[in-house]
Amino acid sequence: MKETILLADIGNTHFHIYEGKEVEHLSYADAIERYRNKPLKYISVNSHIEKQIGCVKGWENVSSQMRLPGEYETMGVDRKALCLSHDNGVFVDAGSAITVDVMERGIYKGGWIFPGIKAMLQSYRDISPALDVSLERDLDLTRLPFTTKEQISYGIIASIKILIQKHQKSRQVFLTGGDGKLLSHFLADAVYDEILLFKGMQHALNSNEE
């Protein structure tokens, strides 16, 4: 990344802010209080956020600068930023939803969306209290599981893994998001990168300045 700029990805519930070291995850109120006097460039998937932060001096919405060859009309700006981080790859953002996007030679080839792992686990709880389990993080995918916890975990992890591998081909898999590190353990040679989205933002901003 060429230079350190205060960048933010504004989601539906939190600010994710990057200043060149690590990502901070803050509430709207805390982010505004802490950074209101600093220049900041942000993208947002929250169409109502401008009512809260549009008047903050020095803050600039750069969502329109996240342009991706091959993108579709309603594609989320956060997904565009992820894909802009590298010209080739499979990009997995494992958060409240799990989005998977494929790039080839700088062109968007398509993708798909899963419910997030927490949402999947909640769907089992909604079926029956007997299915109220946590995810088995040390799951062995090479054998059929025997317990309810393992079987639910197997259904979740294996379905995500198989579909990613189907479209991976020779591409590198990049993961980010709250459950990205967990999923990376089940995907051989996958790269977990917490700042992947911010690399894409910076790439787009640098390209627009040239």
Q: Is residue 201 part of a domain?
A: no
98 and 121 belong to one structural domain: yes
Q: Is residue 54 part of a domain?
A: yes
Q: Which residues are catalytic?
A: 78
Instruction: Report pLDDT for 4.
Output: 57
pTM over 0.85, yes/no: yes
In this predicted model, what pLDDT tens digit does every residue of 159-197 receive, in sequence order? 999 999 999 999 999 999 999 999 999 999 999 999 999
Instruction: Report pLDDT for 210.
Output: 61
Q: Is residue 203 part of a domain?
A: no
Kindly list the averaged pLDDT for each block of 10 residues, start to end, along the chain of length 210.
73 85 88 88 83 78 94 95 97 95 97 97 98 96 97 98 96 96 95 96 86
Domain of residue 171, CATH code: 3.30.420.40
Q: Is residue 197 part of a domain?
A: no
74 and 98 belong to one structural domain: no
Residue 80, Cα to own-chain centre: how many angstroms? 10
Q: Which two three-digit tokens encode residue 125?
A: 């709880």
Q: Which residues form the domain of 169?
A: 87-192
Q: What angle do CA 112, 115, 121 make, to 5 degrees?
A: 150
